[in-house]
Amino acid sequence: MTTREIFETMDYGPAPESDTEARAWIAGKGPAFGAFIDGVFAKPGETFATRNPATGAELARITQSSTEDVDKAVAAARRAFPGWSKLSGHQRARHLYALARLLQKHARLFAVLETLDNGKPIREARDIDVPLAQRHFYYHAGLAQLLDDEMPDHAPLGVCGQVIPWNFPLLMLSWKIAPALAAGNTVVLKPAEYTSLTALLFADICREAGLPKGVVNIVTGDGRTGEALTTHPDVNKVAFTGSTEVGRRIRQATAGSGKSLTLELGGKSPYIVFDDADIDSAIEGLVDAIWFNQGQVCCAGSRLLVQEGIAADFHARLKARMDKLRLGDPLDKSIDVGAVVDPVQHATITRLVDRNTEGETYRAATPVPEQGCFYPPTLITGLSPAAPLMQEEIFGPVLVSTTFRTPSEAVEIANNTRYGLAATVWTENLNLALDVAPRLAAGVVWVNATNLFDAAAPFGGVRESGFGREGGWEGLLAYLEPALKTKPLKPVDPVPAPDTPDAPGLDRTAKMYVGGKQARPDGGYSQPVWSAKGRLLGHMGLGNRKDIRNAVEAARGAAGWARTTGHLRAQILYYIGENLSARSAEFAARIRDLTGVNAKTADAEVDVAIDRLFTYAAWADKFDGTAKSVPIRGIALAMTEPVGVIGALAPDDAPLLGALSLIAPAIAMGNRIVLVPSYAAPLAATDLYQVLDTSDLPGGVVNIVTGDPADLAEPLAGHMDVDAIWAFTPHVGAEAVEKASASNLKRSWVHDGRGIDWMGKSGEGRRFLQAATEVKTIWVPYGE
């Protein structure tokens, strides 16, 4: 073939990568591998085969770790924790730096081993996965170095149980282990059963790096091993990346255990192409969005939304580009699409596509190897937004598509999903891109690019794509906790009716506050509220499930509050504080009557409540996002945005201050809140609605439902339109709240049997603001 012919056809021959060194490592260390516990590889136990998905050939035997193996690994991590956590940040940074250097020194071995085990093209493992893994350890070495000075009031959590998937085995390992070690925690990690080899190679270099024994432990096996790890009583933190279904089970299994939890789950990410986009560039981006790693990417741009006017042209060009994709041996550096990880996954993809009855299915006209788990790049057009394949994650090289007419319609279709992991916006109009990006329900938005990742830029989802962030200072916070002094949390019951009641002649009933209006309880029941001296102070309505429903609907209807400026929210919070100050004597008297405290204590609670309102008014326009220093010609903006609707169960102690300590940060950040006030002293909170009514607060931003928290907690925590649940009432256990929160995998912040000093600094500050916000990372490359 002549040079001219090569340029005309763009054909090129194979460029195979040798697997000699990788197979030699397997033979030398295995071929049967035991778990890595306390710095040594255990003898193999019961084993199963790990296979090359491109050929079906067995690569090695992997141990199915038992419950006893997990116990030993957790015990080793527990023994290592005191010594590791007491090291200075600099000393931990040296270890992380050593790991990063060894990842560089063994880069080709890691890349080839990853490709053999996973089936992804070698150029992806070599040029993306391994360099990003190195970057994470370098970056977190820097965070470890700075941690003592930048976060002196934080402490590591303890032993971290980490479970990672098979699509990015080494990269997910680095996302989990690097921040955990930087923060001073120890780790027990379970890799996916399909792809354990690079985790075992990493364990080997931990020994080369001189990492202390027990700091990193690797237990291999299937879901049984993962379950034993995530439910282990001596694990303090669980970090999981995988399917939404498994994530939901982990949330339920860990409910009430006190374990810190982060979940990075499934996605059905929209890829939005406007009619002014550079079509050819958008198609190249789309190739990376959906056929990178055979579409086995949680944030894959698997839902193509094309503006109607260019849809026919775009689809025609896309099909032509699909026909040029090359499938074959993943070790061939000229291959575009490798093998699906396992026959089970291949069968799942096939079943989902074959049972679809909508639209038109186009499979790339490219040869598909007869041997191995290969699936052709596939495009399904003409689907309705509600079609099963537009809603369900396929996790394979299958792209589904529909059209839209206007930007608002594009946003509506994009957000019509239970997921919220990532999104891509393709347009030459930067104003349009930056208008659409904040309106998308996604933790990450790429503008005129896709699948950009970096250790400095937070990554994670909203909705049923999970909660928590990985990367940056935000990701490090998931492995730290404030070093606070706490006290046991004790319930305060309502004062019982006295034998000789002192009832005033004029009845006073405190109604609920829903949608900016006073509302009677749906059930029609009320309960008297007595003072400590036996005087009838009034009645509170006993709310039920329907009252919670009405309050959540009102909160949803006040969505415009999230779009107001921080300056406006600050003015209203200052106004609330001003009006509360004008009635401070009245509120102090109410607190004395409800709780029996002396005048000085009651006055102090009101003063601190006013101060707290001013504090969050000050924060309303100052809790800013950050521009991340990422190694591209572009910028990654980590923007804070409101969580949405927050359900809150207020504490018994400090009934006014406790309620306002939850309301103020929530609304300062643009959220709406449904509050269940103190059961023992509800009138301190119900009196607030008179203040709110005179402070220009829009109806529905704050809603108050009185009643027994034991009756209201689960309907509130389980409501599908509530985005986060905060529970500080001692009348409800954390387990019930967190189990109910698994309904839509909402974020939860619950007491662990320890109380907060609401009068002190621990009752306010950044952790409340962080709980009231999500981080959305918007990537904007620039340049010609």
Give the integer Cα–Cα distance in Å for 420 and 440: 8
Torsional class of 435: left (φ above 0), alpha (ψ -120 to 50), beta (otherwise): alpha
Between strands 378-381 and 360-363, the pairing is: antiparallel
Q: Is the dihedral of CA 346, 348, 351, 355 positive or negative?
A: negative
Of 47, 39, 37, 40, the C-alpha closest to 69 is 37
Q: Which residues, in sequence order, are CB contacts of 365 under 8 Å at separation 6+?
A: 322, 323
Instruction: Give 173: exposed, middle or buried? Use CB within 10 Å, 0-12, 13-18, 19+.
Output: buried
- The verdict on whether 298 is a catalytic residue reads yes
Q: How many residues does the chain have?
A: 784
Candidates 114, 124, 227, 264; catalytic one: 264
Rg of the chain on CA atoms, in Å: 28
Candidates 160, 206, 298, 373; catalytic one: 298
CA distance to 57, 60, 61, 585, 629, per residue, from 31 (Å): 13, 5, 6, 77, 42
Contact 768, 726 (CB under 8 A): no
DSSP string, 723-782: -EEEE--TTS-HHHHHHHHTTTT-EEEE--SEE--TTSGGGSSHHHHHHTEEEEEEEEE-
DSSP string, 266-328: ----EEEE-TTS-HHHHHHHHHHHHHGGGG--TT---EEEEEGGGHHHHHHHHHHHHHT--BS
Give the integer Cα–Cα distance in Å for 476 and 74: 21
First to last CA, the chain: 35
Torsional class of 676: left (φ above 0), alpha (ψ -120 to 50), beta (otherwise): beta
Give the integer Cα–Cα distance in Å for 422 and 451: 9
Between strands 526-530 and 536-541, the pairing is: antiparallel
CA distance to 397, 450, 471, 653, 783, per residue, from 272 (Å): 18, 11, 25, 50, 21
Q: Which residues, in sequence order, are CB contacts of 615 under 8 Å at separation 6+?
A: 664, 764
**Upstream peptide bond of 31 is cis (omega within 30 degrees of 0):** yes
Give the integer Cα–Cα distance in Å for 530 and 539: 9
Q: Which two tokens stand for residue 475?
A: 């990701």
Residue type, 27: A
CA distance to 77, 505, 612, 693, 697, per residue, from 70 (Å): 11, 67, 46, 56, 53
Contact 381, 359 (CB under 8 A): yes
CA distance to 24, 133, 332, per residue, from 21 (Å): 5, 20, 16
Q: Which two tokens stand for residue 268?
A: 């059905």
- The verdict on whether 160 is a catalytic residue reads no
* Residue 591: count of CB within 10 angstroms of its CB: 26
H helices of 558-640, in order, are 566-582, 584-595, 599-619
Contact 578, 676 (CB under 8 A): no
Between strands 378-381 and 398-404, the pairing is: parallel
Give the integer Cα–Cα distance in Å for 469 and 480: 13
H helices of 295-429, in order, are 311-323, 343-354, 388-391, 407-414
Of 246, 196, 188, the C-alpha closest to 220 is 196
Q: Which residues belong to the active site?
A: 264, 298
